[in-house]
Homo-oligomer: A and B are copies of this chain.
Amino acid sequence: MAAQPIGRHFLQIPGPTNVPDEVLRAIAAPTIDHRGPEFARLTREVLDGLGPVFGTTNPVVVYASSGTGAWEAALVNTLSPGDRVLAFETGHFATLWRDMAEALGLRVDFVPGDWRRGVDPDTVAERLAADREHTVKAVCVVHNETSTGVTSRIPEIRNALDQAGHPALLLVDTISSLGSIDYRHDEWGVDVTVSCSQKGLMLPPGLGFNAVSDKALRARESARLPRSYWDWKPILEANRRGFFHSTPATNLLYGLREALRLLDTEGLPQVFARHRRHAEATRAAVRGWGLEVLCADEREHSAALTAVVVPEGHDAETIRELILDRFNTSLGAGLGRLAGTVFRIGHLGHFNDAALIGTLGGVQLGLRLAGVPVGEHGINAALDVLGRKETA
């Protein structure tokens, strides 16, 4: 086993993702005065560039924080102590968001799930229809559940709210989908879109985002959860002048400007198509190995990552460690109830066919070396998908 990593690391966890060299160099620029004219230009460039990525013409609030902080921001700006929230057990991160909501003093109706499926729009409809008093103040949905590789269908969920004529806010976590999977804050009527920097945006971690609807901004007026750092209002006011309320993470904003430029140059439709192709090729490999993809619904396969079920009698962690040691490739662990039984292949962000082939080849070989009986066709099945005529 290699004692030290050799060659370029393959960071194939579902985030943080491989940061482009251009972005790394951008964040190495000298820090500037966050109250000066050059900073004001930077602010405007990144805020202007973020809108299209979220699919919104409404404001996007940028925090120095992780995505977890952006979860908190979504809740404390819109809700009051004791408010009821409807949430869904789609996996580990949905469960953590539920825990946070409860820690902040909210009451969460948590619809159980088997961690292999997204949010069921029918269940949303039923639950909301049953809430005649409109005591549910918000519906929390994780768009792409990073722990399972399952993507919930937001437009259908939106439709369920509309059909029920229910006024609850729709809060959506796009932490591992934004910039990788088609997403439309405005068109889909989302009230708060939560995201962060280190996945599809191809940045290091350290920035959290809230895209906010007018309805969310109005909800803020009466929401009574204590808030200060996360408060949208002073940030948006400062943004209008080109600044931030508290000192922003300047160098990550340099990186964000560069990452937005890269996304814009490739084109969002091309970015999304690339992610879909890579996901399809990955699933083809998994099936070629004779293994099972965790996601149980064809409509909900994530374009950003694929969770692979490890056959009984094998430990996913042993496999992951072997692949890290031997192939300098990081894969995602099974989280929560999936610990040891699942590993996750991230194929999102700054990525291409050659890197995917290298990743899948390392996984195929790693599985074999770990004694997991796998079919040899995996890698060639992936090549077959990648060899098809590209249709952007």
Contacts and interface: CB of A to CB of B under 8 A. Distances in A.
A362 interface: yes
Contacts of A100: 228-229
Contacts of A34: 16, 205
A64 B36 CA distance: 23
Contact of A64 (B21, B206, B387): B206
B358 A229 contact: no
Given A72-B229, A227-B103, A383-B365, A29 B33 contact: no
Interface string A349-382: 0111111111101101100110000001001100
Interface of A: 1-2, 4-11, 13, 15-22, 24-25, 27-36, 63-69, 71-72, 76, 81, 99-100, 103-105, 196, 198, 204-206, 208, 225-229, 231, 245-252, 265-266, 274, 324, 326-330, 333, 350-359, 361-362, 364-365, 368-369, 376, 379-380, 383, 386-387, 390
Nearest to A249: B206
Given A9-B30, A206-B249, A248-B66, A354 B380 contact: no
A205 B328 contact: no
B6 A30 contact: no
Given A324-B36, A355-B8, A28 B25 contact: yes
Given A206-B251, A274-B6, A362 B357 contact: yes
B368 A387 contact: yes
Given A379-B361, A383-B361, A228 B19 contact: no
Contacts of A368: 387
Given A33-B330, A330-B33, A266 B28 contact: no
7 contacts: A13-B33, A27-B251, A31-B198, A103-B226, A206-B249, A353-B361, A353-B365
Central interface residue in A15, A103, A228, A387, by most chain B CB within 10 Å: A228
B353 A326 contact: yes
A27 B24 CA distance: 8
Given A27-B251, A31-B19, A265 B4 contact: yes
A31 B204 contact: yes
A96 to B, nearest CB: 9
Nearest to A354: B358
A185 B13 CA distance: 38
A8 B229 contact: no
A36 B8 CA distance: 16
Contacts of A329: 354
A167 B205 CA distance: 39
Contact of A229 (B15, B69, B81, B369): B69
A29 B35 contact: no
Given A9-B32, A68-B245, 11 more contacts: A6-B266, A6-B352, A7-B350, A8-B355, A21-B21, A21-B30, A65-B69, A66-B229, A103-B226, A206-B249, A249-B249
B228 A67 contact: no
A363 B352 CA distance: 14
A36 B330 contact: yes
